[in-house]
Amino acid sequence: MRLLIIADTHVPKRARRLPDQVWREVADADVVVHAGDWVDVGLLDELAARSRRLVGVYGNNDGPELRARLPEVARVELAGLRLAVVHETGPAKGREQRCARDFPDTDVLVFGHSHIPWDSVTGTGLRLLNPGSPTDRRRQPHCTYLTARITDGELTDVELHALPRPAG
């Protein structure tokens, strides 16, 4: 099972649309995971229409229309892997301990908010992933997203992709 993991798209405030490279990944993915800060319901509708399966949550920049359609926390089992998605996990300091405490029955926790890619494993074996942002790099060198696979209930082939900077 192939996953595309994105967050903090901020469409249309930070970008008019997702980059073409991300849309190609949507077409190839079995499941698209979005960890919040969509900003406009139009992107939710478009991703839902173009994804085989979409798992998403709302973020702190998402208004009432998105919050009415998306949960704060999503929990799904995908090919034997227990995945949870949330937008915010708090400060980096203490993140692993907080998440291990708050998500004890989870194999992988996807989060967003910081726009900073993150990949770590807690002492309890919980994998924490933040894909960064495909549209708003903030202080990062590139806009980013993640792809991964689930094989026999295990997360494999996790890859951070850096998007080229727009011309101009």
At 65, give phi and psi (nearest 5°). -65, -40
Domain boundaries, the chain: 2-162
- In whole angstroms, give the CA distance from residue 39 to residue 136: 13
Rg of the chain over all Cα atoms, to the nearest angstrom: 15
Per-residue pLDDT tens over the stretch 73-114: 999 999 999 999 999 999 999 999 999 999 999 999 999 999
Homologous superfamily of 2-162: Metallo-dependent phosphatases (3.60.21.10)
Per-residue pLDDT tens over the stretch 7-61: 999 998 878 899 999 999 999 999 999 999 999 999 999 999 999 999 999 999 9
- In whole angstroms, give the CA distance from residue 146 to residue 71: 21
